[in-house]
Amino acid sequence: MKTKQKRLSSILQDEGRVIIAGPCSAESQEQVIETAKALGADGRVHFLRAGIWKPRTSPGSFEGMGTKGFEWLNQAKAITGLPVATEVGSVQHVSEALKHGVDMLWIGARTVSNPFTIQEIAEAIRGVDIPVLVKNPLCPDINLWEGAINRFLRAGVSEIAAVHRGFSQSGKSTLRNNPNWSVPAMLRERIPNLPIICDPSHIAGNHTLVAPIARRAMETGFNGLMVEVHPNAEVALSDAAQQL
């Protein structure tokens, strides 16, 4: 099932949207391959996502399987033809991900909040032809989000997309992260040609709320979705409640 990989930009141009799906974290060979096979068979998915290093709020939580997970991602890619994406939060992560042939990188919400780290990661990617997805920072600070994107643009990264995953909030809400839809709308005004993808999984925090958020995003002009899926979500090692 090997075909020449399409670039992120040509997927967006030809199909009008990009779909990225996969587990929150790569947990085992079986889990990664079972997920990839199902997504490949579904036919609508362009990239397989899986976290190799997980930025957890509290120490002692599952922090990812680390570099051995790349072997599973590459097996999944060989079987399904799906290119793979993972999160990087440091220069060392970038170097490991590139060494293991990852096709697309994303920068998580916690990392985007730190301009020092973003600058270092942007420098590490300079001259490398790889797409970068920049999630919104935890707080609804559009300047911080735009600033991170501009650091990658200045480093010459030619394929960049923003990912809206909602903002931290205090107090009670049915959603895990506040979508605050006006912030991505403002980003679109500031950088008109930038693709903006929605991650309804981290906005929802619960699998029952993912579909309506995804629908709303697509109806209001988002350029695609990044969705967490797991073959047995109840026992997932991270983000169990929100994975489809």
Among 178, 212, 217, 197, residue whose Cα is nearest residue 49: 197
Figure out which of the listed residues 64, 69, 83, 108 binds ligand PEP, where binding follows CB under 6 A: 108
Give 24 or 33: the residue with its C-beta nearer to ligand PEP: 24
Binding to ligand PEP in span 160-189, by CB under 6 A: 165
236 near Mn ion (CB under 5 A)? no
Nearest approach, Cβ of residue 108 and Mn ion (Å)? 9
Q: Give the span between the Cα atoms of 62 and 114, in whole angstroms.
A: 23
Judged by CB, which is closer to Mn ion: 27, or 239? 239
Binding of residue 200 to ligand PEP (CB under 6 A)? no
Q: How far is the CB of 32 from Mn ion (least distance, A)?
A: 15
Sequence-separated contacts (24+) of 95-103 with Cβ below 8 Å: 95/124, 96/67, 96/70, 97/52, 97/70, 98/128, 98/130, 100/67, 100/70, 100/73, 100/74, 101/70, 101/74, 102/70, 102/73, 102/130, 103/5, 103/47, 103/77, 103/130, 103/131
11 binds Mn ion (CB under 5 A): no
Q: Which does 109 bind (CB under 5 to 8 A by kind): ligand PEP, Mn ion, none?
A: ligand PEP
Phi then psi for residue 19, to 5 deg, are -120, 125
The CA distance from 71 to 6, in Å, is 22
CA nearest 213: which of 200, 230, 202? 200
* Residue 148 C-beta: closest distance to ligand PEP, Å: 12
Among 46, 93, 151, 202, binds ligand PEP (CB under 6 A): 202
User: Is there binding between residue 46 and ligand PEP (CB under 6 A)?
Assistant: no
Q: 226 has which bridge partners?
A: 20
Of positions 12, 24, 36, 161, contacts Mn ion by CB under 5 A: 24
Residue with Cβ nearer Mn ion (103 or 239) = 239
Which positions lie near Mn ion, rule CB under 5 A?
24, 239
Which positions lie near ligand PEP, rule CB under 6 A?
24, 51, 55, 108-109, 135, 165, 202
